Amino acid sequence: MSEPGPEIAEMLKQARAQMYAGRFDEALGLAQSLLKDDADNIDGLYIKAVCERYLGDMKTALASVDRLKSLSPDFGRAYQEEGHIFKALGDEQSALSAYRRACQCNPALQASWKAQADILEGWGRRDAAAEMRGQEHRIAAMPKPLIAVSNLLHEGKLVKAENACRHFLQSNPHHVEAMRLLADIGVRLGILEDADFLLESAIEFEPDNIQVRIDYIQTLRKRQKFAEALEQSHLLYQRDQDNPVFQSLYAIELMQTGDYEKALQLFDLVLQKLPDDPVTLTSKGHALKTFGRQEEAVQSYQKAFQSDASYGDAYYGLANLKTYRFSDDELQLMNSQENGNQLSYQNRIHICFALGKAYEDRQEYDKSFEYYERGNELKRVQSRYDADQMTAELDNQITACTPDLFAKHSGRGCAAPDPIFILGLPRAGSTLLEQILASHSQIDGTLELPNILSLAHRLRRQKQASNQSLYPDNLDALDADQLHAMGQEFIDSTRIHRQDAPFFIDKMPNNFRHVGLIKLILPHAKIIDARREPMACCFSGFKQLFAEGQEFTYGLHEIGRYYKDYVRLMDHWDAVLPDAVLRVQHEDILDNLETEVRRMLDYLGLPFEQACIEFHKTKRAVRTASSEQVRQPITKASVDLWRHYEAHLQPLKDALGQTILESQQ
């Protein structure tokens, strides 16, 4: 949320002062004057709605709240104000729904918890009221500065929230809730390592603090530290094996480490207690999809949005199967949700991408693009991606990783030949290559492992004693023992994802940025560059909503520029590490499957096996967006799909520039 200019800020200050003094006419006048200059000012609209309610103009107040919700779908105080208006009108059912939504958006809204408790007590629902009252009292007991931090945090004012939280911690360095809030801010800013440290420290101070441990598990998962997240979730589960929250958390972490059968058993236990819970139904759908049980996955996703028509992840789960076709009724339901103003920000993103896929399948390509673009625009607002910074990062690799560097460290590193890295861009066919190779008896498929990225991040933060520069410049200063230890650490830390085969695949696409590091610490590792025609690859990425990361995909210009930088860096690796990387073109796989399979196996030094040709018969968990596609024989259906959208793709063509022509040579 952007900060207002000094004049607007002063008008807001005066309007608030008049409102808090009970001079609602004066406050309303100031708010209206402010909105003439800044019609979309969230705080101004909020003051306007509050004043209109106190002045008895409920119809206008509701219109102001609707405007607020359309501009900021997750602004908790808008829903709280809506609750107050409905309560004043005597509509307690609508008021309760609004208060609930307010607390979902901002759990620090004490007035909304109190109002829910009051309504539920009046209805005789004492147990439910007691739960709300407990939340009210919890917030009342919080230090006022931390309530302010929480409000800032949940209204997207992250810099202000961080400054206020750090100021509080200076005087209260071991305050666990302050540490938890600062960690939450860190997660939202993408500073996951600091959040991890804060939460680990907070648990040491208060081992029985459930919310801190839940936040810690979720942060570990975001960092893809799956073994640690599984351990922490199991600790919670052991505390109370009948608690549906603990069951669900443990099930999710079991999924991340490949134990889908046990995860599904736990989801079923949760659903015995909460049969219509859309979150659990959708999580179960994800597990069933990954496990290859598509029909059951479809049923679980459908039940989720039948339970809650606004739950966008359920629709997108169906769209992300790639093989599902929405019915007319489902399309109408999604449209009605997207056209309304009751959706949360994240639910709207999911539904926009699902609508893009629905209209794509109906060959209504202009309408499909409209929704893909809308979903991407919403994601870009959340994104902190900087294309210039990414270009500079890749330039640093080219500058630092020279022939002299590799000559100096020749013969060092860990000699293990186990890893096979498949890298490149997402949606370039890497899942298909993994499925083909994992069908070989000597190769395990795993997932997109975070270990190389984590090592690079660690090196980026650590200066070597003999060299004050940072990664990748500090690669030159690493000694033989350090390089060996890093390679061995990779082998040891990835073992949890392997079965019994001598070789295994890491298909993290972003590892292309770190080929130099890989070859220094694992000189015998094999590397395959999964390459796809640039327009097809980039547009496929643009219309994909990723669970985490890949923020360069949420704009046509951004993804085109990223592809061009990727090609440039891969050309550098070819120059300084001749024959180290095998390039496999997706279109060649589609045209000459057996030839390309034999070429890959020759590069890997493995004998040909027919199972690699019949890869779609292989039973294994596949965790990426292509999971259903790779369980079918080769198809060329999507090769030229982008051409149906070509009228909208000029920004992508402009960004790719000469790269398009070079790919056709």
What is d(CA 348, CA 374) in angstroms, rounded to the nearest whole number?
9
Residue 637 pLDDT > 70: no
Give the model's pLDDT for residue 625. 44
Helix ranges, 401-450 (H):
403-408, 430-438
Number of helices (H), then strands (E), in the chain: 34, 5
288, 264 Cβ separation under 8 angstroms: yes
Which pairs with CB-CB distance under 8 Å and at least 24 residues apart come from 192-197? 192/219, 192/222, 192/223, 193/223, 193/457, 193/461, 195/219, 196/220, 196/223, 196/225
Q: Please state, in angstroms and as integers, the Cα–Cα distance from residue 252 to each residue in 244, 264, 633, following that order.
A: 12, 9, 30
Residue 647 pLDDT > 50: yes
Q: How far is CA 141 from the centre of its chain?
A: 33
Give the model's pLDDT for residue 330. 97
Nearest-5° Cα angle at 145, 96 to 28: 55
Cβ neighbours of residue 403 closer than 8 Å, sequence gap 6 or more: 576
Residue 417 pLDDT > 60: yes
The residues that bridge with 504 in the sheet, in sequence order, are 419, 444
pLDDT in tens, 232-283: 999 999 999 999 999 999 999 999 888 899 999 999 999 999 999 999 999 9
30, 46 Cβ separation under 8 angstroms: no
151, 108 Cβ separation under 8 angstroms: yes
Q: How confident is the model at residue 15 (pLDDT cuts 50, 70, 90)?
A: very high
Give the model's pLDDT for residue 619. 63
pLDDT in tens, 572-629: 999 999 999 999 999 999 999 999 999 999 999 999 999 999 998 876 555 444 444 5
What type of residue sits at position 516? G
What type of residue sits at position 496? I
What is d(CA 579, CA 599) in angstroms, rounded to the nearest whole number?
13
Residue 652 pLDDT > 50: yes
Over the chain, what is the mean pLDDT? Answer: 92
What is d(CA 280, CA 226) in angstroms, rounded to the nearest whole number?
20
Q: pLDDT higher for 146 or 660?
A: 146
197, 180 Cβ separation under 8 angstroms: no
Average confidence (pLDDT) over 190-214: 94
Q: pLDDT higher for 661 or 403?
A: 403
Q: How many other C-beta atoms are found inside a 10 Å radius of the C-beta of residue 189?
A: 15
Residue 409 pLDDT > 70: yes
DSSP 282: H
Pairing verdict, β 526-531 and 419-424: parallel
Smallest CA-to-CA distance from 623 within 304, 256, 229 is with 256
3-state DSSP assignment of residue 464: strand
pLDDT in tens, 99-131: 999 999 999 999 999 999 999 999 999 989 999
Q: Is the dihedral of CA 653, 659, 663, 665 positive or negative?
A: positive
Locate 173 and state its tokens. Answer: 């360095």
Q: How confident is the model at residue 292 (pLDDT cuts 50, 70, 90)?
A: confident
Residue 139 pLDDT > 80: yes
Q: How confident is the model at residue 154 (pLDDT cuts 50, 70, 90)?
A: very high
What is d(CA 112, CA 262) in angstroms, rounded to the nearest whole number?
38
List of E strands, 540-647: 581-585
Render 372-401 in DSSP notation, one character per residue. Answer: HHHHHHHHHHH----HHHHHHHHHHHHHH-
Average confidence (pLDDT) over 334-359: 93
Q: How many CA atoms lie within 13 A of 389 on its CB side?
A: 5
Percent of the chain scoring above 70 in pLDDT: 95
Residue 318 pLDDT > 90: yes
312, 343 Cβ separation under 8 angstroms: yes
Cβ neighbours of residue 441 closer than 8 Å, sequence gap 6 or more: 501, 609, 611
Give the model's pLDDT for residue 638. 72
The residues that bridge with 444 in the sheet, in sequence order, are 504
3-state DSSP assignment of residue 445: coil
Residue 230 pLDDT > 60: yes
Q: Is the dihedral of CA 629, 630, 633, 634 positive or negative?
A: positive
Smallest CA-to-CA distance from 522 within 489, 553, 474 is with 489
Residue 2 pLDDT > 80: no
Average confidence (pLDDT) over 4-17: 88
428, 588 Cβ separation under 8 angstroms: no
Residue 325 pLDDT > 90: yes
Give the model's pLDDT for residue 156. 87
Cβ neighbours of residue 105 closer than 8 Å, sequence gap 6 or more: 74, 75, 76, 79, 154, 344
Give the model's pLDDT for residue 632. 56
**Gyration radius of the chain over CA positions:** 27
What is d(CA 411, CA 398) in angstroms, rounded to the nearest whole number?
22
pLDDT in tens, 433-486: 999 999 999 999 998 898 999 899 889 876 544 445 689 999 999 999 999 999
Cβ neighbours of residue 387 closer than 8 Å, sequence gap 6 or more: 552, 557, 558, 561, 562
Give the model's pLDDT for residue 382. 78
Most confidently modeled range among 101-105, 151-155, 336-340, 370-374: 370-374
Average confidence (pLDDT) over 81-100: 96
Average confidence (pLDDT) over 20-32: 95
Give the model's pLDDT for residue 626. 45
